[in-house]
Structure 1
Amino acid sequence: MPTLDLSLSAADLTRAICDIPSVSDDETALADAIEGAIRPLGHLEVHRDGDTIVARTRLGRAQRVIIAGHIDTVPVNGNLPTRDVEDDGAAMIWGRGTVDMKAGTAVQLKLAAELVDPAYDITWIWYDHEEVAAERSGLTRLERSLPEAFEGDFAILGEPSDGQVEGGCNGTLRVVARTHGRRSHSARAWMGENAIHAAAPILERLAAYRPQEIVVDGLAYREGLNAVRVSGGVAGNVIPDLCEVEVNFRFAPSRTGEEAVAHVREVLDGFEVEVADLAEGARPGLDSAIARGFVAAVGAEPRPKYGWTDVARFSARGVPAVNYGPGDPSLAHHDEERVAVAQIEDVERGLRAWLTTA
């Protein structure tokens, strides 16, 4: 059974955590190792729900912060075990999960073990099933089984942010736009109506669409409206009677989900549109005193998060939340996934400085 030594450096702990494969649906070995390392620590109250581990201080501090990270990865593709590489002379750790997001989890675990007397009460959450459908996420279960784990004054997700602070996140909406026709033999196409041809205006509107850049609380979020899948057709000699265009809208957190849906329906006016999936965005969460203190302590320049992350779960509960973790987000899920050792150390240093200074 794998074990973890939390006295290791954060970089060595990253290697150890990554070398315990934990693709979604197979996180138990890593969850067991985390629980085994955390449960003996007397300053933490530990709770386990499935493969999600919650560890909390009970120091009676005036404010509580939540620091969370997921332990699962997308499938491995020949990129484990980890190995040390160089990138333009910089020491890097290469392998699945190094960026998304086991380097951030390693930093959190090390600090959880070492910060016996932090300036804030802390709720640490390491959860499973982030890389799959939201209803399977460990956080979804935890919201039902231990809702008090989401109570706090500020939250940090260790998602890769290049060691910078990324406030909030864009929302995401998927819709399916449909066109209908009438089947006929393709040799007698005039007797049918081609649903795929009827979908051409949908693609034309999407190609002509000019996304906005919207400033929210000082951060500029880029929106995007794109076709991501087209399906239709019955056989090579049949005029199709149905075509479906799946459309993804990444919208700034200034819009509500309802407003995002209304906007897409307006763009696709005249077509049948069905909402397939909707996740609200989260405002930057940087206007409170505790957030300003965090940004100052870590010495980072806030910027927007374009992708959706679980900060939105905390924001929906009234807890301001940001993303802060080592790793270049553009390398997440990449076969050449790798993280800079110096960035792991910088994030550890920044979090430690903030959590130990009232």
Structure 2
Amino acid sequence: MPVLDPSLGPAALTRRLCDIPSVSGDERAIADAIEAMLREHAPHLAVTRDGDTLIARTELGRARRVAIAGHLDTVPINGNLPIRDVLDPESGEPVIWGRGTVDMKAGVGVQLALAVELSDPSVDITWIWYDHEEVASDLSGLGRAMRNRPELFAADFAILGEPSNGTIEGGCNGTLRARVTMLGRRAHSARSWMGENAIHRAGPMLERLAAYEAERVVVDGLEYREGLNAVRVEGGIAGNVIPDRCTIEVNYRFAPSRSVAEAEALVRDFFSDADEVEVVDAAPGARPGLDAPLARAFVEAVGQQPTAKLGWTDVSRFSALGIPAVNFGPGDPLLAHADDEQVPISQIMSCAAALRAWLTAG
């Protein structure tokens, strides 16, 4: 089993975590290593395991409890492990390069170092590290553990260690995927006038999508940008047959002020001329949650103006439980899933310092 030494600090833990391959579905080794580390070095934490999800809680009787979470899995490796220490060519700053550094082993490294270090925080803390984040939502280890052990997730505020360049990103957009189908009538392409071309029927719909101007919506002081886009087109069965079906898969990213039902209604109205509209996946957004007292204190500790999280993250799951939640972690979110993922060591350390100061403030 890989050995994790928390005394080396968050940057060294980031390196070690990244070098344990943990593509979605293969998180057992990293979960085993984290569990062993916690049981050896963190006797102040009550550790529970659900599959490859770990929940480690302080039980100090504090008046308030904070949940701090991070996922263990990565997207597939593509020649970018083992990790390397290099200098950023533009800034000259030391960075850790390789798969998972941004999304999100640096965030997990910060959390693990503090979980072991902080035996007497000013709030009770529930640390959560979970499997299957980078795949379909119904496989999420966080969602599974919340269903299996809901009592372990009660909290007054939550932080998800998604990469945010070391700033606070409040809430998240919702997301909806739909399959929009236009029907036609098959015919031999030599006698095309005998049929009706479903792909041609889909053309005006694609033009309308290309011209669509998504809204910018201010929610609790933060601006969220929406998006409605075609992400896949399927149609045709042979090179000499007029197609009788063309399906456009669309993705709608909507502001957290909208419910899933409202988002679905907008999509169905936009494609009202389609023959079929099937919603295949949807997840609600999360409001910023920055008006909670703990959130305001956290903003002060970080010392930077929060912005909106434009993608979907698991803060949505905490928000659904009535827990205000934000994203906060090292790494540029624009590098998440990129083959040249890299995180500045200084950002790892500054995130750790901000979290430590906030969790130990009187």
Same structural fold, with TM-score higher than 0.5 when normalized by the shorter chain: yes
- Quote the offset at 1:16 in angstroms: 0.6
SS of the aligned residue for 2:361 comes to coil
Residue number among 278, 282, 287 corresponding to 2:282 in the alignment: 278
Match for residue 34 of structure 1?
34
Match for residue 212 of structure 1?
215
Match for residue 348 of structure 1?
352
Match for residue 82 of structure 2?
81
Match for residue 177 of structure 1?
180
SS of the aligned residue for 2:223 comes to strand
Q: Contact 1:298–1:353 (CA<8 Å) still a contact in 2?
A: no
SS of the aligned residue for 2:25 comes to coil
Q: Which runs of 5+ in 2 are unaligned?
A: none
Match for residue 237 of structure 1?
240
Distance of 2:122 and 2:262 partners within structure 1: 40
Note the aligned Cα RMSD (angstroms).
0.7
Q: Contact 1:2–1:33 (CA<8 Å) still a contact in 2?
A: yes
Q: Contact 1:54–1:125 (CA<8 Å) still a contact in 2?
A: yes
Q: Deviations over 1:175-198 (max 9, x none)?
A: 111110111110111111100001
Distance of 2:264 and 2:62 partners within structure 1: 42
Matches within 5 A, 1:124-143: 124-143=127-146
Distance of 1:330 and 1:298 partners within structure 2: 21
User: Which amino acid in structure 1 is aligned with residue 20 of structure 2?
Assistant: I
Identity %: 67
Distance of 1:61 and 1:37 partners within structure 2: 25
Match for residue 187 of structure 1?
190
Pairing 1:123–2:126 present? yes
User: Which amino acid in structure 2 is aligned with residue 147 of structure 1?
Assistant: P
Off by >2 Å, runs of 4+ in structure 1: none
Distance of 1:137 and 1:157 partners within structure 2: 15
Distance of 1:286 and 1:105 partners within structure 2: 23
Distance of 2:280 and 2:144 partners within structure 1: 22
SS of the aligned residue for 2:126 comes to strand
Distance of 2:302 and 2:359 partners within structure 1: 10
- Quote the offset at 1:217 in angstroms: 0.3
Q: For this pair of structures, how many residues does the alignment match?
A: 358
Match for residue 97 of structure 1?
100
- Quote the offset at 1:112 in angstroms: 0.3
Match for residue 16 of structure 1?
16
SS of the aligned residue for 1:160 comes to coil
Residue number among 227, 233, 247 corresponding to 2:250 in the alignment: 247
Q: Deviations over 1:226-253 (max 9, x none)?
A: 1110000010000000000011110000
User: Which amino acid in structure 2 is aligned with residue 277 of structure 1?
Assistant: D
- Quote the offset at 1:148 in angstroms: 1.5
Q: Contact 2:171–2:325 (CA<8 Å) still a contact in 1?
A: yes
Match for residue 290 of structure 1?
294
Match for residue 64 of structure 1?
65
Distance of 1:210 and 1:49 partners within structure 2: 43
Distance of 1:299 and 1:213 partners within structure 2: 26
Distance of 2:294 and 2:107 partners within structure 1: 21
Q: Deviations over 1:254-286 (max 9, x none)?
A: 111111111111211221211111110000010
Match for residue 54 of structure 1?
55
- Quote the offset at 1:295 in angstroms: 0.7
- Quote the offset at 1:300 in angstroms: 2.2
Pairing 1:330–2:334 present? yes
Distance of 2:162 and 2:65 partners within structure 1: 20
Match for residue 300 of structure 1?
304
Q: Which runs of 5+ in 1 are unaligned?
A: none
